[in-house]
Amino acid sequence: MSTEPRKPSRREILKPVELIVISAILGVFTGLITLMSTRDVIFALIAFGIAFIVSLVGIAMFALSVKPDDLERNDIRLQDGDEDNKPGTGGGRGH
């Protein structure tokens, strides 16, 4: 019995892009506020970079803390090649 790999949905493909765009928006907001208050472009660019990186790392940590649901666990098992681990059998390596 061969199982075809599941094609990722559009939402799954765009999820990393969403995280980067949210971080970029937070960085631009911080950079604009800094630029308007100090009128120093270099300082505003530094603030943008710091805010972008900190928000990207923070959002990534929150994304990693989400527990996978049954569909994701099944997908992980299939990608790992565990053919004997059918959904609902209760076997496995403790994923």
Q: Is the C-alpha dihedral spanning 45, 24, 76, 1 positive or negative?
A: negative
Contacts of 54 (CB under 8 A, 6+ apart): none
Token duo for residue 90: 């209760």
Q: Which two tokens stand for residue 80?
A: 């790992």
pLDDT per position as a tens digit, 28-74: 999 999 999 999 999 999 999 999 999 999 999 998 898 888 888 88
Q: Which two tokens stand for residue 18?
A: 């969403």
What are 30's two structure tokens?
A: 């911080």
- Rounded Cα distance, 57 and 72, in Å: 23
pLDDT for 33 equals 98
**Does position 95 have pLDDT exceeding 90, yes or no?**
no
pTM of the model: 0.69
Q: How far apart are CA 53 and CA 59, in angstroms?
A: 10
